[in-house]
Structure 1
Amino acid sequence: MGFLRSRRIRWTRAIALGACMTLGAPLLAACGSGSDSGSGGRQVVVADYGGVTDEGYKAAYFKGFTQQTGIKVVTASADMARYIAMAKAGTSQWDTIDADGFAVVDMTDRGLVQKLPDSVPRSDTVTGKYRDYSAGGYTQSFVLAYRKSAFKTAPTSWADVWDTKKFPGKRGWPNYYIGTAEAALLADGVQGSGLYPLDFDRAFAKLDKLKSSLTIYDSYAAVTQGLQAGSVDMALLPNGRAAVLAKDDPDIAIMWEQNIFYPWSGFTIPKGAPNAEGMAKLLTYMQDPKRQAAFAEQTYYGPTLKAAYDLIDAKVAAELPGTPEHKALAVTVDTPALAAQTDEYIKRYSAWVAK
């Protein structure tokens, strides 16, 4: 999943555009737009969400890969619904998409992606049968970022976020569901080991109690800007965005306690990919500890190869999800369980934001 600009937001279109998945290839244009059609041969097309992850991919992976192989890497604006529709039709214009682990689980279980060739190294973090269908992308956590000067004591739990007497002021909140039900349930006393399957009735009842103290923003970038400007004093954010803020502003800190840890994102090759062979070469190039370390140093998102941690600058490593220290404080997402609930999660959260 980054994410992260509007990463995962377009996953919602997989619900709204579900009918597109039944269309034949000639009608797929109705499910998406753009002139990023893959042509196979000497290029591969990677659909991603722009922003810091796109910059990291280009610097750590794409530039060197093209220099080494002569295969050009073209990026397209990611749209999960379009990716799924094209894969189902077997005539994809893209060779991969930057996807959360729970999205990979869903696509794999539906038979929409190809098994990776043996030449692609398997990730240390991708689990079970999905290791054979997805190369590792990165790890991330959703955390609380806050202004130290706004509070007498530092928040150390999601229950503190809901405690508006001890921690007054507005909270920045995304117009997007990732991590929100988990945070609410943890605030309500649910233990991390018993978090899944998510109890949506309980979660949204808890969110209702905080809603008057929330400023809901349209994007993570806007949440970030609100915290920067002091419009809110704390905010739910992906750790990469929070780390950049904290690096630039010494008044901003990260609450790592109860960080909501997403143990992997991944890259699949869809059915009907225009250059599956070239994409497998790129995925092989990306499954390299040194290159994953370079990506982590630029983005603050963690590697999916354990050996990469030994190569990361110590100051950066201290701010990454997935370190022993941060994993000890984390609540780890159950990726298959979340995959089974994602559609309902999106519908419930969208309705809650709108009411």
Structure 2
Amino acid sequence: MIKRLSLLLTMAGFLFSLVACSGGSPTTSEGSKEDGTAKKESKQLVVVDWGGTSSKAAQKAVYEPFEKKYGVNVVVVSPTDTGKLLAMVESGNVEWDVVNHDTDVALRLESQGLLEPLDYSIIKKDDVYPHLVTDYTIGLQLYFTNIAYNTELFPGDHPKTWAEFWDTEKYPGSRSLYKNPMGTLESALLADGVKKEELYPLDVDRALNSLDKIKGNIKTWWDAGAQPPQLLATKEAAVAAAWNGRVSTAKAEGSKVENEFGEALMMSTSWIIPKDAPNKDLAQEFIAFAMEPEQQAAYSNLIDYAPTNMKALDLLSEEVKERLGQTEEKLSNQVVIDVKYWADNFEEINKKFNEWLLK
């Protein structure tokens, strides 16, 4: 799900040559219909998202209702790809209108002048978490990198904090961590006793020293969201850092896996409009529609990612809020990732993290 800007900058030139023939055929929705027939002159909006179950949920909750309301044909392209976005903007040949991107990467794109400003006379931002709103980006969903575990290996007590995740004597078994410093370093510092309100600026050396203590127990350093629930289901890992939505989907499909929201690391993705997007005015209308509490709640009812519009929580059942980690008790134990810090420091820290991985 998450592709980091720093890893793709060097490939921008190469990817530019591929833009014209990239990705094969995009996933395309059917367009607004009346009496069973597609509107012949419907407008088109190209929306880029991550694909998979999140895209299917967005199709039902956001894309199809937007098509019906505005007579628009929404073309969905997946997955989000920073290199392609860069190549399009730099070449002046932008084909995408709206992009769902990681918030920290969106902030970096904003700082480089690669985005269109958002029109807040159209988009209502008052009920959106303030730290997820800038002139060029607005948070669309919350997700967690949290502790997940195999319920057969831990039928009763299980790791509930990162310190317990690190405690392989009390909670034996292989581990799996995200092959990315964002979130991984925070979990390492929490495991080493740093209080959540004192995490930033990150003490990177201390975090890497903490990771040294568990490095030998890491079965897999994963880089795709589907990996942790699979590793847990097959018992290749007993405990893993994982994205909560992936785990809850696997659980619903019968896997013996579960999320633990203690010290869960709250992350987000954001809507952005690439600079010189061909349908940027329509893109503003789309983001406004997608950010309404009704659409946000509908999305969260279909997949376990939480809304950023706080009014959407009022439209969700207590059962759904429990699954999303949005109850008062669970929220009090969570850690909000400082996306601005990562936007400013990712490249330097990522280099150091990858050097550590090779040791």
**TM-score normalised by structure 2 residue count:** 0.86
Which residue of structure 1 aligns with residue 266 of structure 2? 261
**Residues 25-44 of structure 1 correspond to what in structure 2 (within 5 A)?**
28-30=16-18, 33-34=22-23, 42-44=43-45
- Tell me the residue number matched to 1:4: none
Are the counterparts in 1 of residues 148 and 257 from structure 2 also a CA contact under 8 Å? yes
User: Which is helix-richer, 1 or 2?
Assistant: 1
Over 3 Å counting, the alpha-carbon distance change for 1:303 and 1:128 in structure 2 is closer
| Aligned counterparts of 2:255 and 2:132: Cα–Cα separation in 1 | 43
How far is 1:91 from its partner?
A: 3.4
Tell whether 2:166 aligns with 1:162.
Answer: yes
Matching residue of 1:133: 136
Q: Which residue of 2 aligns with 1:114?
A: 116
> 1:250/1:269 Cα in 2 relative to 1: closer, same or farther (>3 Å)?
closer
Equivalent residue in structure 2 for 1:231, among 217, 227, 236? 236
Q: Deviation per CA, 1:29-88: give whole Å up to 9, x if none.
A: 357834679xxx821111222112111111101111112222111122321122134334
| Pair 1:326-2:323 in alignment | no
Q: Quick check: 1:256–1:330 contact (8 Å CA) kept in 2?
A: yes
The more displaced of 320-329 and 206-215 is 320-329
Deviations 1:285-336 (A, max 9, x none): 1121111111011111001111111111321111114443222001111121
**Counterparts of 1:300 and 1:281, CA distance in 2:** 25
CA contact (8 A) 1:197 1:338 kept: no
Question: What are the equivalent positions in structure 2 for 1:1-355 lying under 5 Å apart?
Answer: 7-9=1-3, 11-17=5-11, 20=13, 28-30=16-18, 33-34=22-23, 42-77=43-78, 78-117=80-119, 118-122=121-125, 124-127=127-130, 130-151=133-154, 153-216=157-220, 217-249=222-254, 251-262=256-267, 264-355=268-359
**Kindly, what percent of the aligned residue pairs are identical?**
29
Structure 2: segments with no counterpart, 5+ residues: 27-41
Counterpart residue type for residue 258 of structure 1: E
Provide Cα deviations, 1:84-108, integer angstroms capped at 9, x if missing partner. Answer: 3433444322112211221222122
Contact 1:122–1:132, Cα closer than 8 Å, also in 2:
no
**Number of residue pairs matched?**
339
- Aligned CA RMSD, in angstroms, stands at 2.6
**Moved beyond 6 Å, runs of 4+:** none
| Distance of 2:131 and 2:180 partners within structure 1 | 28
Alpha-carbon shift at residue 109 of structure 1 (Å): 2.1
Q: 2:248 & 2:132 partners in 1: Cα distance?
A: 33
> In the superposition, relative to structure 1, how do residues 344 and 321 fare at CA in structure 2: closer, same or farther (>3 Å)?
farther
* Residues in 2 aligned to 1:120 and 1:330: alpha-carbon distance in whole angstroms: 28
